[in-house]
Amino acid sequence: MWLHAAHGEKCAPTPRCACRSDRAAQTSSGPSARTVAYGAVGALAVALIVALLSSPGPSSASLTASANPEHGKALYKQYCVSCHGSNGQGEFNWMYRERGAPALDSSGHAWHHEDAQLVSMILDKPAADSRMPAWREVLSRDDAIDVVAYIKTMWTPFILANCQGAKHMACTSEH
């Protein structure tokens, strides 16, 4: 509906009404149904995009949820224990040795990494100058996931529940 400037009444813009051509005096009585629909669709699209971008990826628990930690333990004993120790304690003074084997238990910081990062470190080396070999030619991805599942059995329940990955920045000293 339009408000006619000459007589101040609402009228529909029809060929018979002069207000149809009186553009300067036209005021809307509100948004059209089409405008409201487009606005609602746009708001929904923005909300969906925000939700998708802010949702976390798969959790570490989901990566190792169906893993076999017993198989991981056997692989750990075969390939990892000589450097990382039978209980995941790492090499003595590992932080002060040139690229020493770090502790993988709760005393180290393996739990600062997400499972996917740990799997990648096992398969492709943690760093280019690391003494640790890349195990990709020896272990499958599933094998590496099993090893990570076993390593996580060395962590305290508090670390498992509250501290792994990005959560470690907010973790308290209760571990």
Per-residue pLDDT of the chain (175 residues; tens, 9 = 90+): 555 555 556 655 555 555 544 444 445 566 777 766 566 555 555 554 544 443 344 445 578 889 999 999 999 999 999 999 999 998 877 666 666 888 999 988 899 899 999 999 999 988 887 889 999 999 999 999 999 999 999 999 999 888 888 888 877 655 4
Give domain limits for the chain.
2-54, 60-170
> Cα–Cα distances in Å, from 47 out to 19, 33, 50, 132?
40, 21, 5, 45
Q: Tell me, what's the pLDDT at 12?
A: 58
Q: Tell me, what's the pLDDT at 139?
A: 97
pTM over 0.75: no
Question: Which CATH number is 60-170 given?
Answer: 1.10.760.10
What residues contact residue 109 under an 8 Å CB cut-off, 6+ apart?
Answer: 102, 168
Helix, strand or coil for residue 2? strand
CA trace torsion 32, 38, 41, 45 (10° rounding):
-140
Q: Tell me, what's the pLDDT at 92?
A: 77
Of residues 110, 96, 99, 109, the one with CA closest to residue 147: 110
Give the separation between CA 114 and CA 120, rounded to whole angstroms. Answer: 10
> Cα–Cα distances in Å, from 6 out to 12, 17, 18, 24, 30?
14, 11, 9, 11, 21
Helix, strand or coil for residue 17? coil
Left (φ > 0), alpha (ψ -120 to 50) or beta: where does 8 sit? left
Q: Tell me, what's the pLDDT at 14?
A: 56
